């Protein structure tokens, strides 16, 4: 099966099913007559902007960002910050970001892709992100940047 056809099937399967793991996705592909390795599926997931999110029941599942989403990582970050961040607080060189339930990992993925020089690392939970800045001044700059994205 060609890559485009496989990815079209993956999109259909994710839309129609609650898929929690790549193993679940591989099994559904096999039921549809498509043999795919974990590495191939992992690459498809990354290329198709498929992310894990939390459903209304709190369970993790795969979801696809719609094509109407912004194209660059920074645009995606701005959109997700605007839509999902509830509040922030700076604690010395760290920034604690509170998001809607299930949105922290999505925001953090985009933040990590952008690679702001002020940020040494991030940790994401379900609704909380810890951003570790390189200094207190960098943490302040991160807060200001996020506040600008929220407005």
Whether residues 46 and 100 share a domain: the answer is no
Same domain (yes/no): 60, 91: no
CATH, residue 121 = 3.30.1360.40
Residue 131: which residues within 8 A CB-CB, separation 6 or more? 94, 95, 96, 97, 111, 119, 121, 122, 139, 142
Statement: residue 70 has pLDDT above 70: no
Q: 60 and 99 share a domain?
A: no
Domain match, 55 and 80 both: no
Ranges 15-19, 72-76, 87-91: which has the least confidence? 72-76
Asked if residue 140 and residue 99 are part of one domain, the reply reads yes
d(Cα 101, Cα 151) in Å, to the nearest integer? Answer: 21
- Report pLDDT digits (tens) over 31-59: 999 999 999 998 888 888 888 887 767 78
Mean pLDDT, range 56-67, rounded to an integer: 74
pLDDT recorded at residue 69: 46
Q: Residue 23 is part of which domain span? A: 3-64
Q: Is the pLDDT assigned to residue 67 strictly greater than 70?
A: no
Count of the separate structural domains present in the chain = 2
Tens digit of each residue's pLDDT (9 = 90 or more) over 77-123: 898 899 889 999 999 999 999 998 888 988 998 899 899 999 999 99
My answer on whether 44 and 81 are in the same domain is: no
> Which band of pLDDT confidence, cut at 50, 70 and 90, is reported for residue 1?
confident
- Write the DSSP assignment of 19-38 as a string of letters: --SHHHHHHHHHHTT----H
Task: Give the CATH number, domain containing residue 50.
Answer: 1.10.10.10
Does residue 77 sit in the same domain as residue 145? yes
Residues 40, 85: one domain?
no
- Are residues 81 and 32 part of one domain? no
């Amino acid at each position: 099966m060609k890559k485009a056809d496989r990815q079209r099937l993956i999109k259909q399967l994710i839309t129609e099913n609650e898929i929690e793991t790549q193993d679940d996705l591989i099994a559904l592909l096999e039921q549809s007559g498509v043999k795919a390795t974990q590495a191939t599926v992992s690459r498809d997931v990354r290329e198709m902007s498929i992310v894990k999110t939390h459903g209304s029941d709190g369970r993790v599942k795969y979801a696809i960002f719609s094509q109407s989403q912004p194209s660059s990582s920074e645009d995606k970050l701005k959109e997700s910050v605007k839509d999902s961040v509830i509040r922030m607080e700076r604690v010395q060189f760290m920034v604690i970001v509170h998001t809607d339930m299930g949105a922290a990992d999505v925001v953090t993925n985009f933040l990590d892709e952008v690679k702001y020089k002020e940020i040494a690392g991030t940790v994401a939970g379900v609704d909380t992100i810890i951003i570790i800045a390189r200094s207190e001044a960098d943490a302040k700059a991160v807060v200001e940047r996020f506040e600008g994205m929220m407005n």
